[in-house]
Amino acid sequence: MHIHNLSQEKSVLNTFLSEIRSKSVQKDSMRFRRNMERIGEIIGYEMSKSLDYKTKAIETPLGASTVSLPQNEIVLCSILRAGIPLHNGLLNYFDAAENAFISAYRHHKHNPESFEIIVEYLACPNLENKTLILADPMLATGQSMLATFEALKPFGTPKSVHLISVIGAQNGVKFIKENFDSNTHLWIAAIDETLSSKGYIIPGLGDAGDLAFGEKLQQ
């Protein structure tokens, strides 16, 4: 797997990361969503450098120009609901992309420290020979990312796969490295050291879905 850890270089990305982590700033849900969106834009820009390009002639009002344009047929898939702001940021840059959405959540059977990933709602176009971008803001255990990818397999075999996360844990990165093809790319804004006993990233930022859209009722 090709791992692109954007936190290894200093950039304005650090500003947005610091704000989504900050207990005081993240209380503003609108700003939290916007920062997630901006992080998606930055990651999308960096990822775009790995796409396939073709030179095209462009007619301007004053003459001709040539430009290299991306040729990939992109399908952008996000895990609901936390992935929506990140999805919007990526879509701002890949505005011609097709879109897929999937719900994947943790189901705790008997105790809060063990769970399985349940996939329910899924809407997806044909993936055959296309570039799949699979976005989930928090890469904790990696199980949600893998379960989502497995659920997408009936829709075709992508030409290439790019996984997008904002914050991940070493455990989750290791898990997907072991369970995805070696040609898969992971684009991530920060990698934290560990997980809590309940499988949440430490220091992380909390529950991205709740911070973006409000607390959900527990069933």
Domain parsing of the chain, residue ranges: 2-21+30-48+73-213
Interior/surface letters 23-35, b for 16+ CB within 10 angstroms, e for the rest: eeebeeeeebbbb
For 43-96, how does the pLDDT look when each residue is reduced to its tens digit (9 = 90+)? Answer: 999 999 999 999 999 999 999 999 999 999 999 999 888 899 999 999 999 999
Supply the CATH classification number for the domain 2-21+30-48+73-213.
Answer: 3.40.50.2020
Q: Give the separation between CA 15 and CA 91, rounded to whole angstroms.
A: 21
Angle at 131 between CA 199 and CA 148, to 5 degrees: 30
For 143-200, how does the pLDDT look when each residue is reduced to its tens digit (9 = 90+)? Answer: 889 989 999 999 999 999 999 999 999 999 999 999 999 999 999 999 999 999 888 8
Q: Find out whether 2 and 160 touch, Cβ atoms under 8 Å.
A: no
Q: DSSP letter for 154, please.
A: G
**pTM of the shown model:** 0.90
At residue 115, the pLDDT reads: 46
